[in-house]
Amino acid sequence: MLYNYNKLIERISGSSGLSIDDIERRIEAKRARLSGLISKEGAAQIVAAELGINFDKQKMKISELVVGMRNVNTTGKIISLFPVRDFVKNEKQGKIASMIIADDSGNIRTVLWDTNHIALFESGKIKEGDVVEINKASVRNNELHLSGFSDIKLSDEVFDKVKSERSYSEKKIFDFKIGESVKMRAIIVQVFEPRFFEICSECNKKLIDGNCSVHGKVIPRKRAVLTIIIDDGSENIRAVLFNEQIEKLGINEEELEKPELFLKKREEFLGKEAIFSGDVRKNKIFNNIEFFINDIEEFNIEKTIEKLQK
């Protein structure tokens, strides 16, 4: 994200004594030598290494974290804690836990894969509202990931105020990269029929043959997913919305479930312009990028003009 990139540049500048302009010239020169095959964030990390700056031994603010960093050390307050999920991969069972941690500069989704780390949450030793110190983590897809080599423990640090709102960089679709959280103004050019699947009414996990991997046979809840195509003038992209985001688009449950009502609503939304915020991810089945929408705002021309004037 642009915000994180700027923070990273400031840290490199402060650690090296070089000006921000000098750092950015070195970054662009590095990208030019590599024929533009590396991101600005990646080039910045190479420049930092060449200047003898080792982030592995530094404590980072959340706003300074960029995709590709390894051995990250940071501290944050747990502002959201999600249920532990079971999964099966290559016939092996495992667990995954996730949370949102925040400091006074930003917040980031944090994913735990190690059963020893997950046990700290299952036993209640670490809970929502606690401040945790994390060491030797990595940043992938704009998320902080902890492996078995990482450390997590309670911290005595106090955060009176944390930044709980998501940070998005404003970009054109043409410039999207996997893992980015972005915001853009775009037009809906296609709306596909909704699909439905069932989730557990206890933990919201997707049901397999009517069963939850944790709670067994449960009373299912129906969940909808809607796919649209949006275009911002530079390119178009396939975008995905789930129940909460579909409601923000202006389609209610009855309109989703009744084909005649949905077709009427679909015609209403074709050509609709709005501000979309979300995450850029890779569709592993089709090997292309998709946009997972988190929020939708009405496009207001007066606010846009006021922003440009400022």
Q: Looking at the domain 169-309, which fold is it?
A: OB fold (Dihydrolipoamide Acetyltransferase, E2P) (2.40.50)
Angle formed at CA 130 by CA 125 and CA 131, multiple of 5 degrees: 120
Same fold, 56-167 and 169-309: yes
Angle formed at CA 91 by CA 90 and CA 94, multiple of 5 degrees: 90
Residue that wins the pLDDT comparison between 89 and 259: 259
Q: Cβ contacts of residue 306 below 8 Å, gap of 6+? A: none
If you average pLDDT over residues 232-250, what whole number do you get? 92
Q: Give yes or no for residue 129 having a pLDDT over 70.
A: yes
DSSP 8-state class, residue 285: T
pLDDT digits (tens, 9 = 90+) for 52-106: 887 777 899 998 888 778 889 999 999 988 888 877 777 778 889 999 999 998 8
If you average pLDDT over residues 135-163, what whole number do you get? 91
If you average pLDDT over residues 218-232, what whole number do you get? 91
Architecture of domain 56-167: Beta Barrel (2.40)
Tell me, yes or no, if the pTM score tops 0.75. no
Instruction: Give DSSP secondary structure letters for 192-216.
Output: PPPEEEEEETTT-PBPBTTEETTTE
Domain ranges of the chain: 1-53, 56-167, 169-309
Which of 87-101, 119-133, 153-167, 267-281 has the lowest average pLDDT?
A: 87-101
The torsion region of residue 119 among left (phi > 0), alpha (psi -120 to 50) and beta comes to: alpha
User: What span, in angstroms and rounded, lies between the C-alpha atoms of 212 and 219?
Assistant: 10
